[in-house]
């Protein structure tokens, strides 16, 4: 820093020391009076009043004592510039963090100089002028060094925002997104702690990530020392800043954390940890609904009051809210659980099970999907849907390597035992652009002498932007040129999976098992989804696998609707590699798509019949012949529901009304009655 001309010699050095030595009569009591009088003069001015009003009596007394010490430092005869600048910058950082601007600092110092000048009134003018000149130069330098800290704090905050924004684009999942943001925020001076929370089904907010002292605060919640934050207003734990922010969808700031009654349930632990102010930032979806909460805590009262911090909080709400909303499908994984899962992964406590995928028409084994399980301390297996959301980018790579190496080894073992099959392994979409995955992939295939054609990579559903789509399209083509098949997992689970289907040259797609699960409550709607997604994929010449086939009805329906392959408990449960040999020897799969044995299969057949009816609308002669012909649903009724007079009557009525065309109102009503009757058959009799 460049000092004012002559400032160094006037403020420091022998002459300054000699001049200021005359202030040795200013004892601690005198300095205390000067500080007290200065506070009395400035405490009602602008932000100074707000800052002081946030302090408890004890904190105010402590502040006065610290300022007496600092004033004594300024008056110290032997003070040099280096030591002064170091102290000034430290104090300047504090002032910047609590929102006290340089203009108010200058005003306070002018009052201090007036007080000292009054106490020097009895000295000769020349002597008092030398003292005042040396002190004034030190004060000017003090203000300048403190102002430098203002800029440093501002630049640090800008750097943090930049780091968060950059991390968003590279975050593989929700866990990485929040960890990256918290890593950036942990460098902000004055920010002691943070927590990321989401509401469980009871309205209790579960902590999924922390930084700083947030871990200890979370531990206190888990131990019952303080309550977990709640979203309900009728509970004490829901009346604090967190609960109010969740309900209002607006940022709530507590400038004086220890003084508000609504913070009473958390006061004991937060006081021990040094929390003096807090902010609750609700993260919102596109409709403005709160989906997650950030809680931040500072050891400075009023830390969140400054204009720059207020803008920082708004930025966090906007950018993190948007990205969390994109990834909100991830289930809640409390922090203690996620730490346990990562520990098991590091310990290589991983098992790989295999679930067969078969051709629905002839029961041929196509491949087996390798499914990871963590093994806990009791020897129990933890399914992937529980632990995957807790894993970050490096964890996912470690898991992929473990699963692929085990699957390739087991594939070779099975072939030696007489069962030659291909394998499928899940991979996050962003991993396709990660060279580490490609290096691991080809290294493991080479180690096991396994041809790339034996491997299918199932791309998991993740949010993507246009740039991702273009980049992944090229990388998929590269992998396929090596012989590896790429398959879209969970088709129909989100909009992005349909966009991918349009952009990527997939070797296969898998219809999300959640759609198949819908056959229990809304079978017609679930079957229509499967029908139209299958037709869409087939129009692009892509084979279709239906997941979640739990029973004969779903297997039969998927077969009738034209799916190529099936996977699910109704075919085989996931099993160790050694059990695949016995399963393959015993497996039988007899499905006649022309004569269904289940009501769900009959519903699938009736949907196809209805679709064909609509397509024949332009050919009346063919329409009449079609409605007189035998149908899948008639064959089901004759073989399995011959005594159901109502179904027989409804089918006769539907056939009669079908001559008017598929869009005729009377036919549509008759069609719905048939579906309701078959729904009754499916839910109550099978």
DSSP-derived 3-state class of residue 44 = coil
pLDDT at 465 over 60: no
Distances from the Cα of 192 to the Cαs of 161, 319, 366, in angstroms? Answer: 17, 22, 55
Helix residue ranges per DSSP H, 274-352: 307-326, 335-346
Mean pLDDT, the chain, as a whole number?
88
Position 464 confidence tier, pLDDT thresholds 50, 70, 90: low
Q: How far apart are CA 577 and CA 562, in angstroms?
A: 30
Q: Which residues contact 585 (CB under 8 A, 6 or more apart)?
A: none
The first and second tokens of residue 275, run together, are 């929390």
Position 300 confidence tier, pLDDT thresholds 50, 70, 90: confident
pLDDT higher at 503 or 654: 654
Task: Work out the number of other CB atoms within 10 angstroms of the CB of residue 624.
Answer: 13
Maximum pairwise Cα distance, the chain: 124
Angle, helix 125-170 to helix 174-185, in steps of 10 degrees:
170
Angle, helix 665-685 to helix 645-658, in steps of 10 degrees:
150
**What does the DSSP 8-state code read for residue 227?**
P
Per residue in 23-66, pLDDT (tens digit) is 887 888 999 999 889 888 887 776 777 777 777 777 788 888 88
Selection from 454, 363, 474, 358 nearest residue 404 by Cα: 454
**Average pLDDT of span 150-157:** 80
Q: Which residues contact 207 (CB under 8 A, 6 or more apart)?
A: 195, 196, 197, 214, 218, 221, 228, 334, 335
The first and second tokens of residue 500, run together, are 């991918």
pLDDT higher at 465 or 173: 173
Q: Which residues contact 342 (CB under 8 A, 6 or more apart)?
A: 390, 391, 395
pLDDT at 6 over 50: no
Least confident of 296-310, 467-481, 492-506, 540-554: 492-506
Per residue in 358-384, pLDDT (tens digit) is 999 988 999 999 999 999 999 999 999
**Average pLDDT of span 478-482:** 90
Structure-token match 């054609």, residue found: 453
pLDDT at 81 over 70: yes
pLDDT at 9 over 80: no
Position 1 confidence tier, pLDDT thresholds 50, 70, 90: very low
Question: pLDDT over 70 for what percent of the chain?
Answer: 96
Least confident of 178-182, 306-310, 669-673: 306-310
Per residue in 572-593, pLDDT (tens digit) is 999 999 999 999 999 988 888 8
Domains of the chain: 7-156 (1.10.490.10), 174-332 (3.30.450.40), 352-518+543-553+564-586 (3.20.20.450), 599-685 (no CATH)
Q: How far apart are CA 328 and CA 159, in angstroms?
A: 27
pLDDT at 569 over 80: yes
Per residue in 86-129, pLDDT (tens digit) is 998 888 888 877 777 777 788 888 989 999 999 988 888 888 89
Position 466 confidence tier, pLDDT thresholds 50, 70, 90: very low
Buried b / exposed e over 513-552, threshold 16 CB at 10 Å, is: bebbebbeeebbebbbbbbebbebbeeeebbbbbbbbbeb
The predicted pLDDT at position 487 comes to 93
Residue 542 belongs to what H/E stretch?
A: none
Task: Work out the number of other CB atoms within 10 angstroms of the CB of residue 669.
Answer: 12
Count, residues in the chain? 686
The predicted pLDDT at position 318 comes to 94
Per residue in 528-544, pLDDT (tens digit) is 999 999 999 999 999 99
The predicted pLDDT at position 5 comes to 44
Least confident of 377-391, 401-415, 430-444, 610-624: 610-624
């Amino acid at each position: 820093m460049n000092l004012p001309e002559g400032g160094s010699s006037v403020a420091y050095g022998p002459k300054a020391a000699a001049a200021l030595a005359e202030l040795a009569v200013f004892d601690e009591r005198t300095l205390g009076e000067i500080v007290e009088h200065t506070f009395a003069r400035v405490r009602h001015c602008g932000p100074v009043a707000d800052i002081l009003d946030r302090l408890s009596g004890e904190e105010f007394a402590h502040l006065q004592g610290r300022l007496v010490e600092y004033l004594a430092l300024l008056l110290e005869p032997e003070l040099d510039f280096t030591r002064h600048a170091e102290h000034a910058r430290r104090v300047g950082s504090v002032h910047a963090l609590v929102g006290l601007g340089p203009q108010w600092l200058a005003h306070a110092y002018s009052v201090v100089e007036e007080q000292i000048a009054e106490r020097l009134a009895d000295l000769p003018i020349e002597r008092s002028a030398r003292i005042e000149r040396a002190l004034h130069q030190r004060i000017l330098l003090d203000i300048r060094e403190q102002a430098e800290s203002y800029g440093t704090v501002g630049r640090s905050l800008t750097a943090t925002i930049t780091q968060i924004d950059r991390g968003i684009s590279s975050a593989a999942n929700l866990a990485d997104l929040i960890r990256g943001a918290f890593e950036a925020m942990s460098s902000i001076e004055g920010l002691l702690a943070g927590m990321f929370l989401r509401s469980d089904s009871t309205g209790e907010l579960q902590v999924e990530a922390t930084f700083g002292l947030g871990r200890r605060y979370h531990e206190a919640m888990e131990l019952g020392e303080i309550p977990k934050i709640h979203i309900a207003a009728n509970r004490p734990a829901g009346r604090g800043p967190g609960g109010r922010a969740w309900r209002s969808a607006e940022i709530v700031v507590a400038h004086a954390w220890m003084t508000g009654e609504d913070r009473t349930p958390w006061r004991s632990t937060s006081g021990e940890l040094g929390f003096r102010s807090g902010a609750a930032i609700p993260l919102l979806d596109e409709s403005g609904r709160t989906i997650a909460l950030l809680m931040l805590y500072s050891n400075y009262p009023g830390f969140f009051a400054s204009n720059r911090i207020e803008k920082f909080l708004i930025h966090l709400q906007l950018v993190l809210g948007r990205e969390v909303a994109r990834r909100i499908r991830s289930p809640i994984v409390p922090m203690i659980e996620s730490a346990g899962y990562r520990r098991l992964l590091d310990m290589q406590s991983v098992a790989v099970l295999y679930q067969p995928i078969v051709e629905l028409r002839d029961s041929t084994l196509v491949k087996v999907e390798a499914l990871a399980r963590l093994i806990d301390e009791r020897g129990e297996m933890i399914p992937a849907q529980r632990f995957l959301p807790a894993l970050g980018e490096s964890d996912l790579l470690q898991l992929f390597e473990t699963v692929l190496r085990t699957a390739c080894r087991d594939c070779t073992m099975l072939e030696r035992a007489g069962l030659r099959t291909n394998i499928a392994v899940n991979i996050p979409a962003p991993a396709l652009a990660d060279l580490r995955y490609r290096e691991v992939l080809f290294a493991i295939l080479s180690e096991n002498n396994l041809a790339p054609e034996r491997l299918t990579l199932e791309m998991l559903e993740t949010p993507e932007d246009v740039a991702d789509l273009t980049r992944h399209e090229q990388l998929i083509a590269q992998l396929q040129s090596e012989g590896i098949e790429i398959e879209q997992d969970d088709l129909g689970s989100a909009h992005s999976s349909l966009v991918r289907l349009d952009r990527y040259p997939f070797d296969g797609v898998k219809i999300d098992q959640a759609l198949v699960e819908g056959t229990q409550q809304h079978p017609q709607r679930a079957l229509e989804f499967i029908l139209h997604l299958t037709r869409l994929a087939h129009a692009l010449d892509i084979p279709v696998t239906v997941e979640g086939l739990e029973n004969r009805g779903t297997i039969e329906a998927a077969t009738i609707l034209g799916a190529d392959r099936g996977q699910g408990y109704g075919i085989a449960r996931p099993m160790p590699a050694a059990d695949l040999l016995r399963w393959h020897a015993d497996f039988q799969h007899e499905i006649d798509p022309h004569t269904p044995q289940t009501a769900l299969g009959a519903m699938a057949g009736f949907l196809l019949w209805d679709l064909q009816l609509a397509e024949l609308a332009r050919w009346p002669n063919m329409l009449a012949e079609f409605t007189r012909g035998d149908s899948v649903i008639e064959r089901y009724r004759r073989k399995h529901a011959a005594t159901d007079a109502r179904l027989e009557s409804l089918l006769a009525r539907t056939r009669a009304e079908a001559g008017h065309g598929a869009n005729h109102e009377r036919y549509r009503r008759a069609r719905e009655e048939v579906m309701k009757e078959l729904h009754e058959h499916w839910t109550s009799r099978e």
